[in-house]
Structure 1
Amino acid sequence: MVYGLLIGGTVLITIVLNILRLMTTPALNRWLLAGTSSLVVIWHGVLFDFYDLHWSVLLLIMTGLVCFHWKGMTVAIMVSWLLVYSQSGILSFPLLLSYVFFGLGAALLFGYVKQLKRERSGRLRMLTASSRQLNVFREVSFTMQDTLDPDRLLQTILTSVTAGHGLGFNRSIIFFADLEKDSIYGVMGTGPMNPEDGFQIWEEITRQHIDLQGLIDEKETDSTHDEQLNERIQKMTIPFHGNHLFKQTLDSGRPLHVYASIADDPVLRMLHTDLQMDECTIFPLHHQGIPYGLLVIDNVVNKKPITPQKIDSVRPIAEQASLALHQTMLYQRIETLALRDGLTRLKNHRSFEQDLDVLFRECETDELSLIVMDIDHFKHFNDTNGHLAGNELLTRLASVIRRSVPDEQMAYRFGGEEFVVLLPQYDEVEAAQVAETIRSAVLGTNFMNGERQPGGQLTLSFGVASKHTLHEQSLEQLIECADQALYAAKSKGKNQVCRWEGVTL
């Protein structure tokens, strides 16, 4: 009966103590475990008249090792030896030595098990990180392949590097390299200007549970978080052929890990001063020997060190980004060739038709005007000076037109010696004023061999038509009316502007 009560009490106290362990701090938890083990050993001695006490105290030694490592094991060995001595009256040094050997063996076994756990945890972390990087790379690759829009492409690259669901850096910035203009200039960045802004952005993203693709889509439509950063970096321009680390990174083709706060370099000093950048890594963006730019990453918020493993995780994204930029640039070059006149670099007839179709529908209730202009006596110029001089004249004239219109993207070479300008939101009076501006600019420009033209100078005639004056609301009639106004200007003596008003088809 007594033994039953003792055993039941032991079990109950053990359960209570273990429940308390789950509710306490790790330090108190270790003391509770050591106290529970000591209580079990003592009660075992009481129940069995301390006959096997010299064996049961091994539990104390193991508990001391687990809870307090070498110090705990040493104290447990001494306590166990003295506890056996207090019950047996025999001070046995061989017993103490056996406890020491047992403790050492247990420590080696315990250390081996911990090493195995550490290796297993390390492999698990590596597998998790690799899986995460592969998922990011896959998702980013799909997004990059799905677009040829440069802005969306850049936003995808930057977001994949900085997002929590991505590679997790605090900030990333892209610079473009322009060899023709001998400059490296800031294009786009994502991330905070300072740690305080960074914590606010993280809290909002965490609260909304935004995944990587969702963050890419949101960044495309709402860039207010990065507005201050982009405003700052888009003012940064560095000479391409200067003696700085950006040029060295592009030349070497390898990432460069530096400390901007201590490096004696003009570019890094600028990054440190303007963006509070300390430790950073610069990745070259180049493909087949062509430098497209640089990707710069840093941890401005949490100040986490950028390890070699972290740098390796960005390399595939940087290489994929370089290929995507290469493809985008090729597409833009092909599109430019298809939609721009090869001689004057103005938009061509095909672009005009596309833009006019879009504008005519968008300006359904608003005004839209068209200017058609033609070089007076252009055949005489070609016959007198040759076709090469005629080409030079067209190129020079295109520059004058480009400088004289409100939006140079709305100026086109219609064909031959004829040019057109689209003016959304302009009525016929305002459009005629723009035409007069172009006419005056042409008269004020010294064209080579222009004095050989009839009248002693190069001149243009202009026809203007506006949508609201048309009898039939169609883009075909807008072009026809502007042509008729141009014909009227030619008929009245050339070198003048005629509006469609009062002209009969």
Structure 2
Amino acid sequence: MTIYISLLFGHLILLAFSLNFCRFRLSTQLNKILILLMVIYSYGLAILFVQEWLLLFSLLAIFTATAIYQTIGLLVALPLISFVYFYMNGFELYHFVIFTLSALTVAYLTNQGAAYVRTQNRWKSLLIKNSKQLNVIREISIAMQQTRDLDKVLHIIITSVTAGHGLGFNRALVFLFDKNKDQLSGMMGIGPLNAQEGIDKWRKIAEHKYRLIDLLEIDDEKQIDPQLNQIIKHLTIDLDSDHILKDVLLSGKHRVIYPDKVHDHIHQLLINKFNIDEFLIIPMIYQSTKIGLLILDNPVSKKSITEQEIDNVIPLASLAAVAIQQAQLYQEIEEMTLKDGLTSLYNQRALQNTLQKHFNKQQIEPLAMIMLDIDYFKTYNDTNGHLLGNEVLELLAKAIKDSIRESDLAFRFGGEEFTVLLFNTTNHDVNLIAERIRKSIESTVFPNESSQPGNRLTVTLGYAHTEQISNPSPSRLISAADQALYEGKAAGKNCVNQYRISLQSK
């Protein structure tokens, strides 16, 4: 008998070592099956060789099955093991009560333990998610504090909600509210236009092992999904009719839009433009001021948007609203410092900044400058007073803006002198635009212009092109245009005069 018991325990030890060897290489379910098979094998050996220990092994088999498979294990193992035991030893109520109470106790304790583990895992998962969210918000806050540029702020926002180390949405779109035009303007987006594009981008990010902070530092616009931004930046949505975006903006409440039906024409527009399916709209509001909307979806993973994800992104949307508001205010203040208060044209400081940026590029593109001056303006002021003089400057500024192209920039250089910069244009086109400005001003009706020589108010223009200047620089271009203006004044005024290289020798 001792030999049988020794062999039995030897088998158990061997099986235990084998199971321990396999447990890290197999799934949880396979490990459970192996344990159960080991117990069944041991129970069979006990039946054959050590029936005196059959009660112990019967209890062990019931405990193991119940512990592994809880209620199902109890329902299967208790009657089966009881039948085998009572068949071998005859029915005893005492043993049946022991089997039943022991199995119920193990089942209860196992269920309680499993529930405890599930609760702990749930709290652990929630803690990890909250920690991740706090870390994302911390990194975003730091990044936003380092810039006042609106485009950079928007880039930080959409990157943080789409990055794998961020909040993990596949795509984000930002629309800002323009209260003057009562419309939403598409500003920036990040994410794929289709699933394959998204997979390719994820693969690239994984290969480079980008962290969230790395993605935030990427500020090259060519790397921020140019096709998506080409669409969104040309998209404006009027708020003069009812639709889902207007509803969210006015109510201030987020909304998940499901693909079961098309709600309105704006929903259909988003489907057509972005192949959008289920998506989340979150309003960005700061102190009752409507800032805009954040639209999020998962076109690649097709993952449904959960309440937990919504709870995670809402604080970020609030933080984004504050950052955007501050960036817009800074932009307005910066704009004010670069604008002339009377004419609303850019001022001389803006002119110098623009020229410095242009000439600091590695490859300088063609640039032309027109300088114009009001003829006999001192006579006009002396005759009519400075109030009417200011009105003339306002009307003249409007005539200049109406005469130039959208890509051109107009500046008030100082006093009655104005400047226009023309980018990527030929010398011939500069002459046409300058002449158009001159004729526009000549045909404009100014107050009391009959007091001027010739009974009308006129201007003289001089222009220069970088192609005409050796080693062009801001000062050389200004000097050349000013010299052309001076020559035009000397030639009789109310004319357009071109800078000529021969003038350099004079």
TM more than 0.5: yes
SS for the counterpart of 2:343 is coil
Report whether the alignment pairs 1:64 with 2:93. no
1:282-337 Cα deviation digits (max 9, x unpaired):
22222223222111112222232322221111122111111111111111111111
- What is the number of residues matched between the two proteins? 502
How far apart, in 2, do the equivalents of 1:25 and 1:357 lie? 66
SS for the counterpart of 1:291 is strand
What is the match of residue 126 of structure 1?
126
- The TM-score with structure 2 as length reference comes to 0.89
Query: Quick check: 1:374–1:461 contact (8 Å CA) kept in 2?
Result: yes
How far apart, in 2, do the equivalents of 1:380 and 1:355 lie? 33
What is the match of residue 356 of structure 1?
355
Identify if the C-alpha distance between structure 1 residues 139 and 24 changes in structure 2 by more than 3 Å, giving closer, same or farther. Answer: closer
Identify if the C-alpha distance between structure 1 residues 474 and 239 changes in structure 2 by more than 3 Å, giving closer, same or farther. Answer: closer
- C-alpha deviation, 1:396, in angstroms: 2.8
Identify if the C-alpha distance between structure 1 residues 108 and 149 changes in structure 2 by more than 3 Å, giving closer, same or farther. Answer: same
Report whether the alignment pairs 1:92 with 2:92. yes
SS for the counterpart of 1:294 is strand
- C-alpha deviation, 1:168, in angstroms: 0.6
Identify if the C-alpha distance between structure 1 residues 346 and 409 changes in structure 2 by more than 3 Å, giving closer, same or farther. Answer: farther
Identify if the C-alpha distance between structure 1 residues 82 and 230 changes in structure 2 by more than 3 Å, giving closer, same or farther. Answer: same
Query: Quick check: 1:192–1:225 contact (8 Å CA) kept in 2?
Result: no
- Shifted more, 413-422 versus 473-482: the winner is 473-482
What is the match of residue 32 of structure 2?
30
How far apart, in 2, do the equivalents of 1:263 and 1:375 lie? 59
1:179-217 Cα deviation digits (max 9, x unpaired):
111211211111122333222222222222111111223
- C-alpha deviation, 1:130, in angstroms: 0.8
Report whether the alignment pairs 1:495 with 2:494. yes
SS for the counterpart of 2:494 is coil
How far apart, in 1, do the equivalents of 2:169 and 2:470 lie? 61
- C-alpha deviation, 1:229, in angstroms: 2.1
What is the match of residue 77 of structure 1?
78
- Shifted more, 157-166 versus 484-493: the winner is 484-493
1:406-427 Cα deviation digits (max 9, x unpaired):
5655321011211012346668
Query: Quick check: 1:261–1:277 contact (8 Å CA) kept in 2?
Result: no
- Shifted more, 66-75 versus 478-487: the winner is 478-487
- Equivalent residues in 2 for 1:449-468 (5 A)? 449-450=448-449, 453-465=452-464
- Shifted more, 141-150 versus 37-46: the winner is 37-46
1:461-491 Cα deviation digits (max 9, x unpaired):
0123456767997755654453343233223
- C-alpha deviation, 1:7, in angstroms: 3.5
- Equivalent residues in 2 for 1:106-505 (5 A)? 106-218=106-218, 220-221=219-220, 223-224=222-223, 226-259=225-258, 261-262=260-261, 264-360=263-359, 362=361, 369-382=368-381, 386-406=385-405, 410-423=409-422, 431-447=430-446, 449-450=448-449, 453-465=452-464, 475-476=474-475, 478-501=477-500, 503=503
Query: Quick check: 2:70–2:110 contact (8 Å CA) kept in 1?
Result: no
What is the match of residue 10 of structure 2?
8
Query: Quick check: 2:186–2:233 contact (8 Å CA) kept in 1?
Result: yes
How far apart, in 1, do the equivalents of 2:31 and 2:479 lie? 91
Identify if the C-alpha distance between structure 1 residues 288 and 380 changes in structure 2 by more than 3 Å, giving closer, same or farther. Answer: farther
Paired letter, 1:127: L
How far apart, in 1, do the equivalents of 2:458 and 2:224 lie? 52
Identify if the C-alpha distance between structure 1 residues 494 and 271 changes in structure 2 by more than 3 Å, giving closer, same or farther. Answer: same
Question: Once superposed, what is the RMSD of the aligned Cα atoms?
Answer: 3.0
How far apart, in 2, do the equivalents of 1:364 and 1:174 lie? 33
1:368-410 Cα deviation digits (max 9, x unpaired):
5432211123244445555444333322322332343456553
SS for the counterpart of 2:168 is coil
- Shifted more, 425-434 versus 490-499: the winner is 425-434
- The TM-score with structure 1 as length reference comes to 0.89
Query: Quick check: 2:133–2:312 contact (8 Å CA) kept in 1?
Result: yes
Paired letter, 2:129: A
How far apart, in 2, do the equivalents of 1:466 and 1:111 lie? 85
- C-alpha deviation, 1:177, in angstroms: 0.8
SS for the counterpart of 1:51 is helix
Paired letter, 1:396: L
SS for the counterpart of 2:217 is helix
- C-alpha deviation, 1:129, in angstroms: 0.6
Identify if the C-alpha distance between structure 1 residues 146 and 17 changes in structure 2 by more than 3 Å, giving closer, same or farther. Answer: closer
How far apart, in 1, do the equivalents of 2:47 and 2:28 lie? 29
Q: Which runs of 5+ in 2 are unaligned?
A: none
